[in-house]
Amino acid sequence: MKSLQDTERIASEAVIYCRVSSAKQLREGHGLDSQETRCREYARLKGYQVVEVFTDDMSGSLTARPGMQAMLAHLRKHRKHPHVVIIDDISRLARGLEAHLQLRADISRAGGILESPSIEFGEDSDSLLVENLLASVSQHQRQKNGEQTLNRMRARTMNGYWVFQAPVGYRYARTAGHGKMLVRDEPIASIQAEALEGFACGRFATQVEVKRFLESQPAYPKDLPNGEIRNQRVTDLLTRVIYAGYVEAPSWDIGLRPGQHEGLISFETFQRIQDRLKSMARAPARKDISADFPLRGFVLCNDCGNALTACWSTGKHKKYPYYLCPTKGCPSYRKSIGRDVIEGEFEDLLRGLSPSAGMFQLARAMFRDAWDLRIAQAADAAKSLRTAVQRIETQIEQFLDRIVDATQPTVIQAYEKRIATLESEKALALERMLQTGQPKKAFEEMFEHAMTFLASPWNIWRNEGLAWRRTVLRLAFAEPIPYCRNDGLRTPEIAFPFKVLAGIQTGDCEMVRPGGFEPPTFGSGDQRSIP
């Protein structure tokens, strides 16, 4: 390696290397332009001609820096004419001793001579000691900054703030008294809230239906060029507690706690989603369910009991839609039934489910009575929940005391797992306690969709999209409907609300006799059951 005096004699050309490791350095004035200005000023004072400027805007290994690689290639290309390599500060080369020594050696082998306006590089022992000390200090500063950043992030998470990348549906915004925190990113947040609520209540039976719903929303961001969303996006949406307004960081030993941000759903809804995910069978995604054939998979073949499939058949001038049985060996195998025939009969069936105006008003009154009764019971429910929270807190304290006395790792792990479960139960009880009382919305607003559905499921079927049509099938009927090619749709098993309304409307009810519905039973002698 050449000395500084040798450099001044043989090197007249120089290259500048600048690097920043974060966008924050650019904003705070420690960016590439300021480094280059200082290096050019140094070159002018030394009488060097700057021939190239190489920059990197990232940290990382040597191979991950395109600017460094390009500079080394330039030095090797002009090895016969050594170039001075000017850096603003030793930390701009590397912020670790090992990486610094490696880059120092690579520059020297490529024919470069390292210089800086901040430090005088030399080959004597004192100069090397100072250089290595400065590199070590730079490394310590980087590591210390990392530790401080991690500690601040952990402390902020403990206070209920999310400190990682904003999940889909949220964005970071500066809020008075909170700094940067998560806020709803509309309209994405509302779309996701509808998807979560729909899955919790059964409107969407599977994750695949949630995926289709999100893909049908033009404003929702897509993952793939063909307009689809990755399955992992749906899984994250359904399983991340942050969407319920809570935060946790198990890797930092931070358990579940209320977040400072607004949740898209309640914690109770989140728990229902988790219960459904654990209990439901995993079904493969079916791409053949579309708006063209909404009854596919719901209408059964009357001969074999299997679900009908559907397809478009190409005619002489156009395509024709058909339903058909795909089961080999069935008498109706591949015998097509016009889509208009089946769906026309089904719409007639839906029209028949609509109650009369009088029955609808009776159902509305029944809902209103139940609503008033639940409000009257709210105070007792809140008191019970408050007692439950206190009991859970006592149990948590007891387990914490046991952890202090425990010595076996397996026992400690079991206690920690139990504490995590109790924390989840406590969060759910607290949320229910806060929500118990006066309703957030009026009766008419809360039951608007239910009343609309009971009034006429046929209107929803005719005017809404595929997702709502699938919802009508699940809510209006207790099981799929068989279809006979000769007789049409068989008698359906309708859902309980419509069955009750139909029974009231037709007078299919009676008062309970004094002795009950069952006749008296006689034992030995004159003994018999007492009504």
pLDDT (0 to 100) of residue 531? 36
Nearest to 352 by CA among 465, 466, 501, 139: 501
d(CA 64, CA 42): 28
Half-sphere exposure of 294 (CA within 13 A, CB side): 19
d(CA 416, CA 256): 13
In sequence order, the β-bridge partners of residue 299 are: 481
CA torsion through residues 21, 23, 26, 27, sign: negative
pLDDT (0 to 100) of residue 357? 66
Q: Mapping DSSP to helix (H, G, I), strand (E, B) and coil, where does residue 354 land?
A: coil
Chain centre to alpha carbon of residue 300: 36
**Residue 520: CB atoms within 10 Å:** 10
pLDDT (0 to 100) of residue 448? 62
DSSP string of 317-340, one letter each residue: SSEEEEEEB--TT-TTBT--EEHH
pLDDT (0 to 100) of residue 167? 92
Q: What angle do CA 393, 394, 395 make, to 5 degrees?
A: 90
Domain 170-279 top-level CATH class: alpha beta
State the burial class of residue 394 (Cβ atoms within 10 Å of its Cβ: 0-12, 13-18, 19+).
exposed
R_g over Cα of the chain: 36
Helix pair 231-239, 207-215: axis angle to 10 deg:
110
**Which CATH architecture does the domain made up of 4-145 adopt?**
3-Layer(aba) Sandwich (3.40)
Nearest to 116 by CA among 87, 93, 84: 87
pLDDT (0 to 100) of residue 168? 92
Which tokens belong to 36? 């280059």
Alpha-helical segments (H) within 14-81: 23-27, 32-46, 66-77
Match 């998979």 to its residue by tokens: 297
Confidence (pTM): 0.52
d(CA 244, CA 239): 10
d(CA 245, CA 183): 11
d(CA 480, CA 283): 18
Domains of the chain, residue spans: 4-145, 170-279, 299-354+456-506, 357-449
Q: Mapping DSSP to helix (H, G, I), strand (E, B) and coil, where does residue 42 land?
A: helix
Residue 51 has phi, psi (to 5 degrees) of -100, -25
Strand blocks (E) in 73-148? 83-87, 112-115
pLDDT (0 to 100) of residue 415? 80
Residue type, 166: A
Half-sphere exposure of 273 (CA within 13 A, CB side): 28
Q: Are 244 and 270 in contact (CB under 8 A)?
A: yes
d(CA 113, CA 98): 19
pLDDT (0 to 100) of residue 500? 64
Q: Are 86 and 116 in contact (CB under 8 A)?
A: yes
Q: What angle do CA 195, 423, 194 make, to 5 degrees?
A: 10
Match 């229902």 to its residue by tokens: 272
Largest CA distance in the chain: 132
Residue 18 has phi, psi (to 5 degrees) of -125, 145
Nearest to 322 by CA among 335, 336, 333: 336
Distances (CA, A) of 467 to 206, 290, 460, 488, 502: 12, 10, 11, 25, 26
**Tens-of-pLDDT digits for all 531 residues of the chain?**
444 444 444 568 899 998 887 656 555 555 778 888 888 999 888 889 888 899 887 655 555 678 888 888 888 888 888 888 988 887 777 767 777 778 888 888 888 888 888 887 877 777 778 777 877 777 777 778 778 888 889 899 999 999 999 999 999 999 888 889 999 999 999 999 999 998 988 888 888 889 988 988 888 998 888 888 899 999 999 999 999 999 988 888 888 888 999 999 988 889 899 988 888 654 444 555 567 888 888 899 988 989 898 888 887 788 889 999 999 989 989 888 888 889 888 888 888 777 666 666 766 776 677 667 766 666 677 777 788 888 888 888 888 888 878 888 888 888 888 888 888 888 877 777 776 666 666 665 666 666 666 777 777 788 777 777 877 887 788 888 899 888 888 888 887 667 666 655 555 555 445 554 455 544 444 444 443
Contacts of 122 (CB under 8 A, 6+ apart): 3, 4, 128
DSSP annotation of 416 reads H
Contacts of 166 (CB under 8 A, 6+ apart): 172, 182, 185
Residue 13 has phi, psi (to 5 degrees) of -110, 150
CA torsion through residues 232, 233, 238, 240, sign: positive
